[in-house]
A = this chain, B = another copy of it.
């Protein structure tokens, strides 16, 4: 189910796409390095949205009615269709959508705006994490714990999403995803620690943490969503691990840059790359933001170089395919941000198009 038109393969991405940009306003950050992608089929997007909403409302009972508009506005269907243009089928997109919705729910409910807080986050997040895999013990405690999980909407979502994902893919990919979600949770907890202390991490520390609190759990499942398996001995190769870390960082910095003004409006101070740079390097707001764009671009170039090196060092159809699909996720993620003009407004000091 590929939506790209034109030549394919590494290096051709920027020439490949015909956007239906007329239907979707697009405002990329001036000077930022990105690739255009094809808009997904609207009917596909709508069907993914329909299915995941039905699941969220009727199977998981994820949110109260007053959050419905927020759920709809996020645009889960478009997000996963953009991210996985080579998805094997609707069920695959649906599983990816469920994971995304569940991840957002855990973040929103436990970490952020809807009653979340950095305080006590460690026990809430481990509770959520345990819904992804099954803890065991003895009666009656094991059932008591399952009952507890079932009483928490984000935990129900995690459990159900992981079950759907597990049905589609191999055990080792399920386990890999759980590891990437553990990384995510560790990243959340590091950020919560700063937040409690009011600390602003150094730029070096920030760039490290944003490989953990990142979109890595989305981009490393491209094989599962694509209907194939990149085996562990390739996935765990240091060269590929390097690629994933850089890709994860690049995608997260995109989020930092596009959501910069949104985060300024947040009730609790948010740390992001421009903020960390400004704090530690004494730059103006604008200069810090521009430097953050440069850093993002450098990370993207490094990611692409390392991906090319990996393809050369580990030649094989699966590696090439996986790397291509990761790059597609990175590009789709950027495009989603750049076209999400309702959700994200760019800083005033940027030159207008």
Contact = CB atoms under 8 A, between A and B. Distances in A.
A327 interface: no
A233 interface: yes
Contact of A179 (B145, B179, B193, B205): B179
Given A232-B175, A299-B137, A193 B246 contact: no
Contact of A246 (B124, B136, B182): B136
Interface in A129-147: 129-130, 133-138, 141-142, 144-145
Copies in the complex: 2
A24 interface: no
Chain B CB within 10 A, most for which of A121, A125, A178, A232? A232
A187 B199 CA distance: 24
A201 B136 contact: no
A275 interface: no
Interface of A: 119-127, 129-130, 133-138, 141-142, 144-145, 148, 170-172, 174-175, 178-179, 182-183, 185-187, 189-194, 196-197, 199, 201-205, 207-209, 211-212, 231-233, 235-238, 241-242, 245-246, 249, 295, 298-299, 302
A281 to B, nearest CB: 11
Contacts of A233: 170-172, 232
A167 to B, nearest CB: 12
B245 A134 contact: yes
22 contacts: A119-B196, A119-B197, A122-B189, A123-B205, A126-B187, A129-B186, A129-B212, A130-B212, A133-B241, A135-B245, A136-B242, A136-B249, A137-B207, A137-B246, A137-B299, A141-B203, A145-B205, A171-B233, A175-B236, A178-B179, A179-B179, A182-B183
A135 B208 contact: yes
Contacts of A138: 207, 295, 298-299, 302
Given A145-B204, A186-B186, 7 more contacts: A120-B196, A125-B189, A135-B211, A138-B295, A138-B299, A145-B207, A175-B241
Contact of A189 (B126, B145, B197): B126
Nearest to A247: B136
A235 B207 CA distance: 32
A186 B298 CA distance: 32
B126 A207 contact: no
A174 to B, nearest CB: 7
A136 B246 CA distance: 6
A25 to B, nearest CB: 31
A200 to B, nearest CB: 12
Nearest to A242: B136
Of A191, A233, A246, chain B has the most CB atoms within 10 Å of the CB of A233
A242 B186 contact: no
Nearest to A250: B137
B236 A174 contact: yes
Contacts of A194: 123
A124 to B, nearest CB: 8
B136 A302 contact: yes
A141 B294 CA distance: 13
A199 B124 CA distance: 13
